[in-house]
Structure 1
Amino acid sequence: MNKEVVIVGGGPAGMLMGLLLAKENVNVTVLEKNKSLSRDFRGETIAPGSVYLLKKLGVFPALEEHGFIKVRKIKMYDREDKLFSVNFDELDHPQKYGIDMPQPVVLEALKEKALDYPNFQYIEGATFTDLIKEDRKVVGVRYKESGHELEVRTKLVIGAEGRYSRLQTLGNFQVKKKEFSRDLIWFKVPKPADWEEGNLIKVHKHDHVIILPTYPDFLRVGTYISLGGNRETKKKGISTFIDKVCAIEPKLRIPMEEHITSWDDTTLLKIFTAHVDDWANDGLILIGDSAHTLSPILGQGVNIAMQDAFELLPYVTNGLKTHSEALPANLFHRFIEERKKQVSFVSNFQARQEQNLSASSPLQCTIRKVKMKLLDKAPFKNKVMKKLQYGVVANETMEV
């Protein structure tokens, strides 16, 4: 089988890339190893900039039909003392809210839109196994489907596998990985009555929780434990864990005691960043978490990944017009250079926030409180948050 482009991975970056290419009449195949799009605690928050892109692509009506939560605010508290807040209504952009909804709904909407085009193919249960190379150029992929070994020849392979990318290894990419000093435990509980709107970060001394509204009427809550401390945390029992969270946010006690009855009701997420030095080889390019795994702070990974796809599109379509064989890596140098600037901006912002959140001594906690209150009043606050929340469409003003 021959295709102009093969995308490995049917997550947000891969599925959006497939739709974008299909709309441009490119013969494209998306290989997804899972037979279901179902996934939990995966990029459920879509930032305003990515919502804007989904509207431009005509995908949004399907999301509206399902339903979602509008997210208009981000707030940070030291228990009940407000340190920092952002209201998207105050940002100079026509898209005034992000959304929270199950990621499978977004992926299904992208897939169904792409399937309207006869040049789009989606293969589920397709496990990528190897790259096909000729003269050091990538010219295709091998994969397994229903026990059969198959291959696709192509001018370009786009790696969108996510944070545990085999293409990083098979493509001989150099990866700089940094583990954080803590791991993150997530859980979901029903939203208490009269819960305030917005994404919340609450700190108290050396601890904090991240609390995100989750469709239809739940909260997604994350709290940190020491790196590799999962076993030790579990030894202390689920009640001790509940006490730890509720010391920061007492309103969570009743829903936690009713719904978090064992460790099976929680999910451990390893926290690390991984940045590939150069995202492209001849015939191969990485995007999304495969190229740059970010911290979960402010949920930027899915949005950066989707914007990678949006920005990559013209480089691919132009390259296909001018090259009859594998697209050379140098076609993508400018794309990589520009995307690295945005990724670096987000990554550095996250690193500063991680430093604030990991404050441990009384002095560090006091400095954190002062810094965040000063930032809240800073004249450049909205400019920074606009760049963070809208990315590549920050300066677009067209209503959609």
Structure 2
Amino acid sequence: MKKQVVIVGGGPAGMLMGLLLARENIDVLVLEKNKSLERDFRGETIAPGSVYLLKKLGIFRELEKHGFVKVNKIKMYDRDEKLFSVDFDRFDHPQKFGIDIPQPVVLEAIKQQALKHPNFHYIDGALCMDLLKENDQVVGVRYKQEQDVKEIQSQLVIGAEGRFSRIRSLAGFRVKKENFSRDLIWFKVPKPANWEEGNLIKVHKHDHVIILPTYPNYLRVGTYIPLGGSAYIKSKSIDWFIDKVCRIEPRLREPMKEHITSWEDTTLLKIFTAHVDEWAKDGIILIGDSAHTLSPILGQGVNLAMQDAYELLPYVKDGLSTYKNRPIPASHFDEFVSKRKQQVSFVSGFQAQQEQNLAASSLIQCAIRKLKMRVLDRLPFKYAVMEKLQYGIFANEKVEV
């Protein structure tokens, strides 16, 4: 079997890339290893810039039919003392809110839009086993579906499997991985009455919680634990954990008492970054978390991934026509990789600064954190920085869609 482009991974980057290519009459196949689009505890927040993209592509209407939670504020408190806030209504952009919505809903909406194009093909339950190569160039993939092993030739393979990419390893990409000094425990509880809008970060001394509104009427709450300390933490009672969280945010005690009754009601997330120096080799390119896994702070992974796909489209189109039936060489994507690395570097740098603030442990460090966030809150360029973060490549595109 032959396709112009094979995409390995049907997450936000891969599925959107498939739709974008199909809209350009490119023969594309998306291989997804899972039989279902249901995901584990994955990113559910879509920033305003990516909401803007989904509107441009006509997908947002389907999300409106399902419903979502609008996210239009970010606030940080030291217990009850406000240190920093951003109101999206003050952004100089027509898209004034992000959304929180289950990821499978977004993926299904993109897939259904793509399936309207006869040149879009999707296979689930397909585990990529190896890359096909000729003269050190990637010319396709070998995958297994149930007991059948099949091969597909292509001009380009796009690796979009996420943070634990198999394609990345098979192709021999070198990864620089950096573990954070802490792990993260997430859980969900119903939203208490009269809860304020927006994403909320609350700190107290050396500890903190991240609280995100989640569809339809929940809060997704994360709190850090020492790196590798899961076994030690879980040797303690669940009441100890509830006390730990509620010392920072007392309003969570009642819903936690009712809904967090054992450690099975929580999810451990390992926090690390992983960056690939070279995103492309002859016949293959990586996008999304496969190329740049970031911290979950401010939920930027999904948005960078989707905008990778959007930015990559013209380079793939040009490469397919320029090189005809040959693999697209890595050098063809140099400009794309350079541009995207700038945005990824900006986001990862911002995240690193916030991680440093949140990791404050001594009284002096906590005092400095409080002062820094207060000063940042008053600086006139606060919204310019946050606009670049929240809108990415669409920060300067100010047309209502």
TM-score interval for Structure 1 and Structure 2 normalised by the shorter chain: over 0.9
Report what 2:147 is aligned to.
147
Report what 1:161 is aligned to.
161
Question: What does the per-residue CA deviation read over 1:64-83, in whole Å, with 9 as the maximum and x for residues that have no partner?
Answer: 00000010000000001000
Question: Could you tell me how far apart the structure 1 residues matched to 2:44 and 2:151 are?
Answer: 33
Question: Could you tell me how far apart the structure 2 residues matched to 1:232 and 1:248 are?
Answer: 21
Where structure 1 has 5 or more consecutive residues not aligned to the other structure, the ranges are none
Q: Secondary structure at the match of 2:155?
A: strand
1:350 aligns with 2:351: yes
Q: Secondary structure at the match of 2:313?
A: helix
Q: Secondary structure at the match of 1:2?
A: coil
Report what 2:375 is aligned to.
374
Shift of 1:237: 1.4
Question: Could you tell me how far apart the structure 2 residues matched to 1:292 and 1:330 are?
Answer: 19
Report what 1:234 is aligned to.
234
Shift of 1:41: 2.2
Paired AA for residue 358 in structure 1: A
CA-atom RMSD, angstroms?
Answer: 0.5
Report what 1:97 is aligned to.
97
Equivalenced residues, count: 400
Report what 1:337 is aligned to.
338
Give aligned-pair identity as a percent: 73
Shift of 1:106: 0.1
Native 8 Å contact 2:9 2:159 kept in 1: yes
Native 8 Å contact 2:158 2:286 kept in 1: yes
Question: Could you tell me how far apart the structure 1 residues matched to 2:112 and 2:168 are?
Answer: 29
Native 8 Å contact 2:5 2:155 kept in 1: yes
Q: Secondary structure at the match of 2:42?
A: coil
Q: Secondary structure at the match of 2:4?
A: strand
Question: What does the per-residue CA deviation read over 1:324-355, in whole Å, with 9 as the maximum and x for residues that have no partner?
Answer: 21000000000000000000000000000000
Shift of 1:236: 1.1
Native 8 Å contact 2:128 2:167 kept in 1: no
Report what 1:390 is aligned to.
391
Correspondences of 1:124-203 after superposition (within 5 Å): 124-203=124-203
Correspondences of 1:212-251 after superposition (within 5 Å): 212-251=212-251
Question: What does the per-residue CA deviation read over 1:25-67, in whole Å, with 9 as the maximum and x for residues that have no partner?
Answer: 0000000000000113211000000000000000011100000
1:254 aligns with 2:237: no
Q: Secondary structure at the match of 2:158?
A: strand
Question: Could you tell me how far apart the structure 1 residues matched to 2:261 and 2:29 are?
Answer: 43
Q: Secondary structure at the match of 1:128?
A: strand
Question: What does the per-residue CA deviation read over 1:150-175, in whole Å, with 9 as the maximum and x for residues that have no partner?
Answer: 11100000000000011221111111
Question: Could you tell me how far apart the structure 2 residues matched to 1:292 and 1:26 are?
Answer: 26
Q: Secondary structure at the match of 2:233?
A: helix
Question: Could you tell me how far apart the structure 2 residues matched to 1:275 and 1:179 are?
Answer: 12
Q: Secondary structure at the match of 1:84?
A: strand
Shift of 1:147: 1.2
Question: Could you tell me how far apart the structure 2 residues matched to 1:42 and 1:89 are?
Answer: 27
Q: Secondary structure at the match of 2:278?
A: coil
Question: Could you tell me how far apart the structure 2 residues matched to 1:350 and 1:274 are?
Answer: 14
Q: Secondary structure at the match of 2:232?
A: helix
Q: Secondary structure at the match of 1:83?
A: strand
Correspondences of 1:243-282 after superposition (within 5 Å): 243-282=243-282
1:210 aligns with 2:210: yes
Shift of 1:104: 0.2
Where structure 2 has 5 or more consecutive residues not aligned to the other structure, the ranges are none
Question: What does the per-residue CA deviation read over 1:121-166, in whole Å, with 9 as the maximum and x for residues that have no partner?
Answer: 0101001110000000000000011210011100000000000011
Q: Secondary structure at the match of 2:154?
A: strand
Shift of 1:94: 0.6
Q: Secondary structure at the match of 2:321?
A: helix
Q: Secondary structure at the match of 1:152?
A: strand
